Amino acid sequence: MSQRGGRCRGSAGGAVSCGRAILAGASLALLLALGAWTARPSYAALLGVMIAHPDGVVLRADVFVPAAAEGPRPAVVLVHGGAWRGGDRGYLDLAAQRLAERGWVAATIDYRTDAAAPFPAELDDVEAGVRWLRDHARSYDVDPRRVALLGESAGANLAVLTGLDATHHPERTAGPVAGVVSWSGPMDLRTMVAGGDATPAWLRAAAHHFIGCDVADCSPRYAAASPLEQMVDGSPPVLLAGSLEEIVPASQARAMARRLSDHGVPVEVQLLAGSRHAVAYADDVWENTTAFLAAALHARAGTELATLALPAVPVGGAAAVLALIAPPGRVRRLPWCPASTALRRSRCRR
């Protein structure tokens, strides 16, 4: 009997032997597949859980809960982007699953967009999502003291606002948050809409629509929607990620980092080369994102943020520029990431 082109040929007995070989191979493949599946850390996915219904609008969450019972666990609330006028909580379900595989409860939440309700309805809804998770901490085995936020794009704007507002008014989120991660979040809407930076026209229009009026006519509303203008001492640590040539100018992250530093708030900034926006560079900032969250969540439980040494950072060429502005000794220093899309799934260099 011989095998050519993946087919068995030869006598009837040979065909039987070949059939057995194929069956054995298929069984092995099945066992390997099952082994790969069972090797993954398991979690339960509870999809479409109703969390609020402001003005009759039903808001839902997808909650990912690690299966292993290890006592109350940290939690991360994830806030999707969409230029404040659209988007879907499912944008961040993959990130939430990866957080659950680390042993953290993760919830992606809905909020009303400006097409349905004007600002500050969006902020109210994100705060309600954090409050809901804490109110149901026992149901999901969450430690209510250790809750952080991760947002992308417009959702990052709302996540940082929520973190700052929780310091001003902890009753709105049932307590302060441990830390906030911003992937490409707009921090200064006044400058953005007024044309004071390199924001593209369509995004300026989206921010204007979000606020609902001109800068000259309602300056206080722009201030209320801009994390840069909502700073207060004691705010949670913040990680600001972005790209140097993307739609949200890097100057937004730099200005926010300076303001945080002025108020003594631990801050990390990681700016990648290129123009990728938010979830498009998630793989390249994932290691730093989870390290930051781990440090912030543990610090909230009573320990200090870790401090790591920064190796020499090459600047120029394909390397990303890394900006760090923070109180000395209170921020972890980050590695740099290559801009090459071929390396998007590789770890950043150390």
Which of 60-74, 169-183, 244-258 shows the lowest per-residue confidence on average (mean pLDDT)? Answer: 60-74
Percent of the chain with pLDDT over 70: 74
d(CA 258, CA 274): 23
Question: pLDDT at residue 252 above 90?
Answer: yes
Tell me if 162 sits within 8 A of 169, measured CB to CB: no
Confidence of residue 69 (pLDDT cuts 50, 70, 90): low
Question: pLDDT at residue 2 above 50?
Answer: no
252: nearest Cα among 223, 227, 281: 227
Question: pLDDT at residue 257 above 60?
Answer: yes
pLDDT at 302: 56
d(CA 96, CA 77): 9
> What's the pTM?
0.78
Q: How do the residues of the chain divide into helix, strand and coil, expressed in percent and rounded to 5?
A: 40, 20, 40
Tell me if 259 sits within 8 A of 229, measured CB to CB: no
Tell me if 127 sits within 8 A of 98, measured CB to CB: no
Q: What is the mean pLDDT of the chain?
A: 80
Q: Give me the amino acid identity at 274.
A: G
pLDDT tens track for 116-129: 788 999 999 999 99
Look up the CATH number of domain 45-343.
3.40.50.1820
Sequence ranges of the domains in the chain: 2-36, 45-343
